[in-house]
Amino acid sequence: MSNKSPAEIRDAMWKAMAASPYVMLGLTGKHQHAEPMYAVLDEDAHSEFWFYTKRDNRAAEGGPAMVQFVAKGHDLFACIAGTLTEESDPAIIDKYWSKQVEAWYEQGRQDPSLLMLRFDLDDAEVWETDQSLLGKLKMFTGQTIKGWLAPALTHTPRTLDLIAEYGMTYTCDLYHDDQPAPVQVKSGRLVSMPYSIEVNDHYGFFVYNMSPRDYADTLIRQYERLAREGERSGTVMCIPLHSYLIGQPHRIGPFEEVLRHIAADGRAWIARAGEIVDAYRAQTQGTAI
């Protein structure tokens, strides 16, 4: 076994991939072959890379996927699990665009078949050959933080510009809507994700003095209304929780019933904020008002 730290192994993997960014890519659980792809890496991105491809690619639909990598000198091997998503940010598509990439598309950058896929890494296993000894280590790549919730929900006038500059894609600190909405920032692109003060457990228990069952009833009403309105255009229901409040024995039972109700209903897509932002951007190209 290697005595390298996970950070050293991660660095070794990125270095080897940068030197020879050819990988095999296949969707997980699909009975189809993997195919060779050219990975677009960014030295500042430690949990994602991209592929320029076409809409008829067998991986175009995205979802859970696996990437296999063999270093040029056959001294490092990696199997990386993650999720493929269409990259909807034109700035990213432009960022890595080159003459070599352009040669693949008849109509260049505007070619309708152009598809850029982002691969978000979940975890990787990396093998190294070291004097005929094969070392195997499990490595977690860690996530890049994409969203921001301000402590005490306070800001300076610079905050939103700064978090966008640092590559974050969404803020949870604006409460003006029940749908995601674009936020104008100096650089980068930012989406407002509707967090909620009003159905926050803190508000329920300490502002409105609700009992646990009243709070559960409030969440179900919130859900029912937003689900009905969402039939026309998708809405977002955020349930902000504090484990020291909702996790108490007299509160957690009614809350679990709420989750069962929502999960069984069929109209809810229970998702992480980043996935909601991705879905929103893919449909609106981030330009919707």
Partner 1 sequence: MSLDPSYLTYPRRAQGMDHDLYAWSHFFERPPIVWPDGKSVAIWPVISLEWFPILPADRPFRAPGHMQTAYPDYRHYTAREYGTRVGFYRLLDAFEKVGARISVACNGAVAERYPQLVADIVAGGHEIIAHSTDMNGTIDSSLAEDEERLVIARSLAMIEQASGQRPRGWLSIARSQSFATPRLLAEASLSYMCDWVHDELPVRFDTPAGGIVNMPLNHELSDRQIINVQQQSVDSYAVQMQDAYRWLAEEAQSHGGRMMPMHLTPYIMGLPYRMDAFDALVQWLAEQPGAWFATGSQIVEQSGI
Q: List interacting residues with partner 1 (CB under 8 A).
A: 152-157, 173-178, 197-199, 207-210, 214, 218-219, 221-222, 224-226, 229, 237
Question: b/e per residue, 27-44, with b = 16+ CB within 10 A?
Answer: beeeeeebeebebbeeee
Chain centroid to CA 129 = 33
Between helix 249-265 and helix 212-229 the angle, nearest 10°, is 20
Q: How far apart are CA 271 and CA 122, in angstroms?
A: 16
Q: Find the shortest distance in angstroms from Cβ 253 to partner 1.
A: 20
Closer residue to partner 1 (CB): 95 or 221: 221
The encoded tokens of residue 90 equal 């034109």
Nearer to partner 1, 58 or 155 (CB): 155
Distance CA 86, CA 55 (A): 10
Report the residue number, 48 or 201, with the smaller CB distance to partner 1.
201
Q: Residue 268 CB, nearest distance to partner 1 (Å)?
A: 14
Give the full edge-to-edge strand order of the sheet including 147-148.
147-148, 170-171, 190-192, 181-183
Enumerate helices (H) and strands (E) in the chain, giving the number of each.
9, 11
Which residues have a Cβ under 8 Å from the Cβ of 229 and sit 6 or more positions away? 178, 235
Minimal distance in Å, beta carbon 227 to partner 1? 9
The least distance separating partner 1 from the CB of residue 213, rounded to whole angstroms, comes to 12
Residue 181 CB, nearest approach to partner 1 (Å): 9
Measured from the CB atom, the residue of 92 and 183 that comes closer to partner 1 is 183
C-beta closer to partner 1: residue 98 or 156: 156
